Amino acid sequence: MVDFQSRDTRRHDDDEEDESQSSQSNDEETPTDEAGHDDSSHDHDHGHDDHDHHSHDVESLGAAVVTVSSSRSLSDDPSGDAIVAGLEDAGHKVVSRDLIGDDYDGVQGSVNALVGRDDVDVVVTTGGTGVTPDDVTIEAVGQLFDKELPGFGELFRLLSHEEIGTKVVGTRATAGVVDGVVVFCLPGSENAARLGVERIIVEEAGHLAGLAGREE
């Protein structure tokens, strides 16, 4: 006589033992999965990368300031004065200050000569960024760029919109890198020059110069 009940009971006992072993195995694996070692390592790497990303920042820059205007002089140049003050207040040294007329070759030649100097890390121009026929700064300097920095103009116009509204469409402020030197081109108004240097350039010039600087 076959004992069906005993056979079923043994099968049930075996199933419970299998489930118990499976549960124990899962419990042993859970601490490893929940330990968070990978996440911790990931966070650490992010901090390390951020440190490396800023390790080449230049704290004190040699700056050249160029005013593009046919109607001003260095003794009557509030925009240039605002740029110089903003740079010096941030701990940078203005090593050159020039005023040149609204002339394509003159603007391009001046900037090209400045980026070739060993003591110049950044060039800031003011004037000639509008839409009148004699506004040639963007055309002249843009031809020199090895790399353009479109975010500068975008941010400048965003900040300017707070002050002058939709008139920002008339400014073509821009920036780029020429032979390892960062060049910023600002409008000719005093307010625009001050905004650009105080709210953007002094914040980012050291970082950009460190990244783009000439190789030793």
Q: What is the pLDDT of residues 61-88, one digit of tens each?
A: 999 999 999 999 999 999 999 999 999 9
Judge whether residue 10 has pLDDT over 50.
no
Longest distance between any two alpha carbons in the chain, whole Å? 120
Fold held by 62-212: Molybdenum Cofactor Biosythetic Enzyme; Chain A (3.40.980)
pLDDT at residue 47, rounded to an integer: 47
For residues 113-129, give the mean pLDDT.
98
pLDDT at residue 215, rounded to an integer: 53
* Prediction pTM value: 0.75
Confidence of residue 214 (pLDDT cuts 50, 70, 90): low
pLDDT at residue 56, rounded to an integer: 67
